[in-house]
A and B are shown apart, each in its own frame.
Chain A
Amino acid sequence: MIGIIDYGVGNIKAFANIYKNFDIPYKIVKNIDDFKNVTKLILPGVGSFDHAMTSLQNSGMREELDKLVLENKVPIIGICVGMQMLANSSDEGELKGLGWIEAEVKKFDKSKIINAPLPHMGWNSLNIQENKQIVSALDSDPRFYFLHSYYFECKNKEDVIATATYGEEFECIVNHNNIYGIQCHPEKSHHNGMQLLKNFGELKC
């Protein structure tokens, strides 16, 4: 059962609709009681880093999540700001991140982006570097929808599965043990996004 974490941030319905279409069992998780029977987790995220971290803290689910993810090794995928939260900290905010992956979140260097604004917004190609299950059956040149001004930087480069380029190359999909992060929005990236979410849903755990 996939648990879509609803802590007041992110497009919960979009994930729900996709798993409903695939007939993959899911539930919306709003408090710690909802974690029952959940075998995988989705951590959506939009908006600012601090706002997301504060909302997660206020939801009352933070401690249980730490336990499920770090001790029970429940597979989890952080989406967009949800991915950035996996890091230790972000240039964007004052608060600490979840620290589940050794990484920092940096702001794009505007001087490197020619004739285009921030945030990085629109459809861009992924450069797949590791053929892991999470990225199986995607197009040969898969394009996803992005919307962010900050990017993830892993300390351990073996954690990087895919990159994308906006002015400079940056990490787009990462994976450390049971923890996954994706900077773009699979829930809004048509068939490639749906395939990726399906892959996550079908991961053996």
Chain B
Amino acid sequence: MTKRKYQICTKCVMDTTDTKITFDEKGVCDHCNTFFKDIKPNWHPDDKGWQEIVSISDKIKEEGKDKDFDCIIGMSGGIDSSYLLYLAVKKLGLRPLVFHVDAGWNSEKAVHNIEVIVDKLELDLYTEVIDWEEMKDLQLAYFKSGVSTIDTPQDHSFFATMYKFATKYDVKYILTGGNYSTECIRNPLEWMYYQSDSIQLKDIHSKFGTKPLKNYPVTNILWHKVWLPYVKKIKLIRPLDFMPYDKEEATQFLVDEFGYQRYAQKHFESRFTKFYEAYWLPEKFGYDTRKVQYSSLILTGQMTREESLERLKTPAFDKESIKQDFEYIATKLGISVEELQSYLDAPNKTYKDYKNQMSIYDIGAKVLRILGVEKGGKR
């Protein structure tokens, strides 16, 4: 089979390392076109949007007025969730419980940032610590499987835990920092398959894991896309979509007002995710998630294509520290550097090589798009 000729979008910086990408006659990719066609017309980061979120907040406050807190906000220590907390408390007058999932990979910066935000806003923090021995085993299983989505154990545990918590304490509103402004283009499925697919998680675990998953929280797509919203009536809200959200402005604001410390790149709150996105994905698979992030910022006018191309010329990982990072990852996983290297060198696999619920996701996505509940979405 002939290898596809390299092509890069003329508008953003997505290219044929996303092997499913298509281009129109102007050389504009399908990610951009989906944004223009499906997302932009239905996205109102303006007065209209603001009125809407104020109205939603009023409802949240009313329903939660006799409780200790009226909503939950998931906090990773990253910019989006940190800014969201400020917004929720200071601008929308909400009383959130701050929820943090510790999967064992917190960077010191993340811990610092969570502390300064929670302290200054005088909020209550709740942390769920994932059983490290089980997490370690599951992460190692993912390395052995050869798939690209090796951050699934962390991501899956994040929302599984949060949803379980919401159900347990009967909290009806979960606010997340997810937003179109910096995430209107999503990682292609080929790069990052659905982390919520529990069939795949269990299959990879059964083939390569050595410890039973007793404490590790497993969720599944039907539970949190159907049961929780439609039966338990737990709503997921993304407030940052209802107003203009400029990443650099938000970051500088957090730095000035809270003593927030910047990360080198999105998702670098977690030492593992930093290693995964900056090194493992590009080196093993040729997937550079910065292309996705920068492309989103290009489409929303926060970065120019030229600046993006310039930044992409240098690798995402820091050449000086990568050796130590590699060693740290190996040590923490309880394996040698050589063993970790062997996983890096092993043949690449895809999600199709293991059991998966892709068919359910396909149906679900179509249904939700038809119902207008979701715009865009992963492909």
Q: Which of A's residues lie within 8 Å of B, judged by CB?
A: 21, 23
Contact = CB atoms under 8 A, between A and B. Distances in A.
A23 B324 CA distance: 10
Contacts of B320: 23
Nearest to A20: B324
A159 B139 CA distance: 55
Interface in B291-325: 320, 323-324
3 contacts: A21-B324, A23-B320, A23-B323
Binding site secondary structure of chain B: helix
Interface size class of B (residues with CB under 8 A): under 10
Contacts of A23: 320, 323
A21 B321 CA distance: 8
A23 B318 CA distance: 14
A21 B327 CA distance: 11
B321 to A, nearest CB: 9
A26 B130 CA distance: 39
A21 B323 CA distance: 9
Contacts of A21: 324
Nearest to B324: A21
Nearest to B321: A21
A23 B320 CA distance: 8
Nearest to A17: B324
Nearest to A21: B324
Across the A-B interface, give the 3 residue pairs with the lowest CB-CB distance, nearest first. A21-B324, A23-B320, A23-B323
Nearest to B323: A23
Interface string B320-352: 100110000000000000000000000000000
A21 B328 CA distance: 12
A21 B318 CA distance: 13
Contacts of B324: 21
A34 B321 CA distance: 29
B331 to A, nearest CB: 12
Nearest to B327: A20
A23 B319 CA distance: 12
A67 to B, nearest CB: 35
Contacts of B323: 23
A157 to B, nearest CB: 40
A79 to B, nearest CB: 23
B317 to A, nearest CB: 15
B125 to A, nearest CB: 27
A174 B363 CA distance: 75
Interface string B142-170: 00000000000000000000000000000
Interface string B255-274: 00000000000000000000
